[in-house]
Amino acid sequence: MSEKLCLAPSASPTQERDARGAAQSDAGRLAGEVRKLERQRTELVAAFKKQMKLIEVRGRGGGAGPGDQPTVDRIWQHGTQSG
CA-based max dimension of the chain: 91
d(CA 1, CA 5): 7
pTM summary value:
0.49
Q: How do the domains of the chain map onto residue ranges?
A: 14-82
Produce one character per residue of 8-38: b if its CB has 16 or more CB atoms within 10 Å, e if not. eeeeeeeeeeeeeeeeeeeeeeeeeeeeeee
Q: What is the pLDDT of residues 36-75, one digit of tens each?
A: 999 999 999 999 999 999 999 988 875 555 555 566 666 6
Q: What is the pLDDT of residues 3-29, one digit of tens each?
A: 555 555 566 888 888 888 888 899 999
Residue type, position 49, single letter: K
pLDDT value at 1 more than 80: no
